[in-house]
Amino acid sequence: MRSALLLLPLLVGSASVGCRGGADRPGIAVMPEMFHSVPYDAHDPNGVLPRGQTLQPAPLGTVSRGFSPTHYAPGPEEALRAGRELTNPLPANAMVVRAGARLFASNCAVCHGPQGAGDGPIVPPFPNPPALSANHAKQLPDGQVFHIITHGQGIMPPHGRQITPEDRWRIVLFVRWLQDPNVPRVAAPGGGS
Ligand code: HEC
């Protein structure tokens, strides 16, 4: 206890030294290795690596962890092929549909409307998107809807860059649920991107 009391002024002293300085003078770092890491940071210049950068492009043919490569190019023919080849890998349960509903609300409802009726708030200067409850959309296979979300269709912009493949499948399930909330759909194994 006594030694702790003796240490107190020392601690207060070093804390006040460490805190001195303004916003552009950060003061003294008591333990600099806590602030500056030994390895290069991603955006540090680097004399050893190509182009003098630490951050290097991924080697050709590699795939980031958690991502599946896209095997489909944009366009209606590829959309049809995705419709034939892909199945939704996610289980059709309430949790997935709810997650899909949230994603639909933030990514799609602005044009398609909250219930997919083609009455989103962005519509007036643009042509209405077709209702997702129409027979045409009902008959699109899951894989084709996935492709349309990924690459867009006509004037609908692609969403592949901002929505992960898994989240796209969640949206597909929600679209199915919008089209027919009473029919529980059983997902087949498979999937892709
Ligand atoms: C900027 C407005 C806009 C956004 C955002 C948007 N869409 Fe679309 N969508 C459209 C338009 C317009 C069409 C009609 C495109 C065409 O065929 O010319 C369309 C078509 C579709 C179709 C095909 C319907 C059919 O019957 O052919 C589906 C399915 C679809 N969108 C789903 C989605 C989903 C799911 C999202 C969210 C991830 C989304 N869209 C986001 C405007 C949008």
Tell me if 48 is assigned to some domain: no
Distance (Å, whole) CA 49 – CA 55:
9
Largest CA distance in the chain: 83
Query: How confident is the model at residue 24, as a pLDDT?
Result: 74
Nearest partner of 114 among 178, 46, 186, judged by Cα: 178
Angle CA 193–103–135, to nearest 5: 75
Kindly give the distance from the C-alpha atom of residue 181 to the centroid of ligand 1, in angstroms, as a whole number.
Answer: 20
* Residue 162 placed within a domain: yes
Q: What is the pLDDT of residues 135-190, one digit of tens each?
A: 999 999 999 999 999 999 999 999 998 999 999 999 999 999 999 876 555 443 34
Is the CB–ligand 1 distance for residue 150 below 6 Å? no
Give yes or no for residue 149 CB within 6 A of ligand 1: yes
Domain assignment present for residue 132? The answer is yes
Query: What is the reported pLDDT for 10?
Result: 58
How far apart CA 189 and CA 169 sit, in angstroms, is: 13
Which of 107, 112, 145, 155 maximizes ligand 1 atoms within 8 Å of its Cβ, making it the mutation to test the pocket?
112
Ligand 1 atom at shortest distance from the alpha carbon of 108: 37
Q: What is the mean pLDDT of the chain?
A: 83
**Residue 126 within a domain:** yes
Domain of residue 88, residue span: 76-179
pLDDT on residue 184: 53
Alpha carbon of 21 to ligand 1 centroid (Å): 55
* 140 Cα to the center of ligand 1, angstroms: 12
Q: To 10 degrees, what angle do helices 142-151 and 76-85 make?
A: 140
Flag whether 31 is in a domain: no
- Residue 129 near ligand 1, beta carbon < 6 Å: yes
pLDDT at 25 (0 to 100): 74
The count of structural domains within the chain is: 1
Residue 138 burial (CB < 10 Å; 0-12/13-18/19+)? middle
Residue 11 lies inside a defined structural domain of this protein: no
The pLDDT of residue 57: 84
Domain harbouring 85, CATH code: 1.10.760.10
Establish if 85 belongs to a structural domain: yes
**Nearest-CA neighbor of 120 among 104, 141, 136, 139?**
104
Residue 192's pLDDT is what? 41
Predicted confidence at residue 190, as pLDDT, reads 41
45 found inside a domain: no
Distance separating alpha carbons of residues 19 and 14, to the nearest angstrom: 9
Tens of pLDDT, residue by residue, the chain (193 residues): 555 556 666 555 555 555 555 667 767 778 777 777 788 988 999 999 998 999 998 888 888 777 767 689 999 999 999 999 999 999 888 899 999 999 999 999 999 999 999 988 886 677 889 999 999 999 999 999 999 999 999 999 999 989 999 999 999 999 999 998 765 554 433 444 4
At 17 the pLDDT is 54
